[in-house]
Amino acid sequence: MIEDKNQQHTALSHLGEFGLIDHLTKHFNIKQSSTVHGIGDDAAVLNFEDRNVVVTTDLLVEGVHFDLSYAPLKHLGYKSIVVNLSDVYAMNAEATQVTVSIAVSNRFPLEALEELYAGIETAAKIYNIDVVGGDTTSSTTGLLISVTAIGKVAPNKAVYRSGAKPNDLLVVSGDLGAAYMGLQVLEREKEVYKVNPNNQPDLDGYTYIIERQLKPEARKDIVELLEALDVKPTAMIDVSDGLSSEIMHLCKHSNVGCDLYESKIPLDPQVISVCEEFNIDSTTVALNGGEDYELLFTISQDDFPKIKGNPNLSVIGYITEHTSGKHLVTRAESKIELKAQGWKNFDD
Ligand code: ADP
Ligand code: MG
């Protein structure tokens, strides 16, 4: 679906590995005081003084995690950074640096990598992080991107998956299921295009969900909001695989159960209407869709007044004793055991 704009196609072999790294990273400037030395030596040098350091890494593989027939490289670069920062924020930490490693086949011209790096640079600017290193190598198959994100947190501020206590409230930021429905629309348009390449996709009315799929944001703002509200979550995780499995992780690590209320799950109106169009249950999508990159956390009931009414946050349930089990309370007020997968016909 990405048209060839008759762009230049400079073979990577023209630059060589060092010329390429130099070319792609020459605009990156240092923003964080913890970055002592960035790209250009055998290793970066960082200084975090009295902060604890948070490190997380992700590997994205063409054909598994992204499809270049509808994911523009610029968005892919942006997303590859954002999904890692999301993990840093899920520790209640501030993201400060990333390293970016790529394996690329010679079917990619320099201009394609420039696009990828333009997206990386935009994300670095928006999230105020430094790109301090990486690795570049060739691939015989597709494109691989591995990002490592580094962050800092005051030792008493880090939030783990393991801190949820019975009676805590279960809270999620933003809304859920949009990225999955965006992917469904993109997959459908890809099939239409395959049948007739003259069919230009009509994506009006799907803007929000497609953007949620192709160019997600990490909830740095929520970490800052919680700090401003003086709320320290008791446990936190980011929603990358779907609400259901993230709740299961929190409960498992905290050794607790939970009641999740179907009616409280936040959904964007566009998700509801596209679910109707695709004849998919919107709760199923929110529970199992994934790639929302929202933050799911628990708070003590005492902190409820501080978050009450905040449009960015929804209380979707509460934590129970481990022995009570993990349940979804449906709109019809029946209690169903929460499972990581397979929410097909829970209404009947
Ligand atoms: P080495 O041989 O020690 O692995 P490289 O020549 O691979 O060094 O890298 C030189 C410098 O460029 C290092 O600072 C490295 O972190 C950085 N770098 C290499 N590849 C990338 C990349 N794809 N993106 C950002 N920085 C990179
Ligand atoms: Mg190297």
Whether residue 133 has its Cβ less than 6 Å from ligand 1: yes
pLDDT of residue 5: 52
Out of 140-154, 194-208, 283-297, pick the least confident: 194-208
Whether residue 146 has its Cβ less than 6 Å from ligand 1: no
Q: Are 208 and 332 in contact (CB under 8 A)?
A: no
pLDDT of residue 198: 80
Out of 108-112, 275-279, 310-314, pick the least confident: 108-112
pLDDT band at 342 (very low <50, low <70, confident <90, very high): very low
Going from the Cα of 136 to the center of ligand 2, the distance in angstroms, rounded, reads: 6
pLDDT of residue 103: 97
Quick one: what percent of the chain has pLDDT higher than 70?
96
Going from the Cα of 215 to the center of ligand 1, the distance in angstroms, rounded, reads: 26
Whether residue 321 has its Cβ less than 6 Å from ligand 1: no
Q: Which protein residue's CA is at the shortest distance from atom 11 of ligand 1? A: 40
267 token code pair: 């959904």
Q: Are 181 and 285 in contact (CB under 8 A)?
A: yes
Longest dimension (CA), the chain: 65
Whether residue 21 has its Cβ less than 6 Å from ligand 1: yes
Going from the Cα of 50 to the center of ligand 1, the distance in angstroms, rounded, reads: 28
SS (H, E, C) the chain: CCCCCCCCCCCHHHCHHHHHHHHHHCCCCCCCCCEEECECECCCEECCCCCEEEEEEEEEEECCCECCCCCCHHHHHHHHHHHHHHHHHCCCCEEEEEEEEEEECCCCCHHHHHHHHHHHHHHHHHCCCEEEEEEEEECCCCCEEEEEEEEEECCCCCCCCCCCCCCCEEEEECCCCHHHHHHHHHHHHHHHHHHCCCCCCCCCCCHHHHHHHHCCCCCHHHHHHHHHCCCCCCEEEEECCCHHHHHHHHHHHHCEEEEEEHHHCCCCHHHHHHHHHHCCCHHHHHHHCCCCCEEEEEECHHHHHHHCCCCCEEEEEEEEEHHHCEEEECCCCCEEECCCCCCCCCCC
Quick one: what percent of the chain has pLDDT higher than 90?
84
pLDDT band at 2 (very low <50, low <70, confident <90, very high): very low
Q: Which protein residue's CA is at the shortest distance from atom 17 of ligand 1? A: 133
Q: Please determine, for residue 211, whether its predicted confidence score (pLDDT) is greater than 50.
A: yes
Going from the Cα of 20 to the center of ligand 1, the distance in angstroms, rounded, reads: 10
- Partner residues linked to 147 by β-bridges: 58, 100
pLDDT of residue 7: 67
pLDDT of residue 346: 41
User: pLDDT for 118-139, tens place per residue?
Assistant: 999 999 999 999 999 999 999 9
Q: What is the pTM of this model?
A: 0.93
Mean local confidence (pLDDT), 208-221 = 97
Which ligand has the shortest distance to the CA of 103? 1
Mean local confidence (pLDDT), 93-99 = 98
pLDDT band at 345 (very low <50, low <70, confident <90, very high): very low
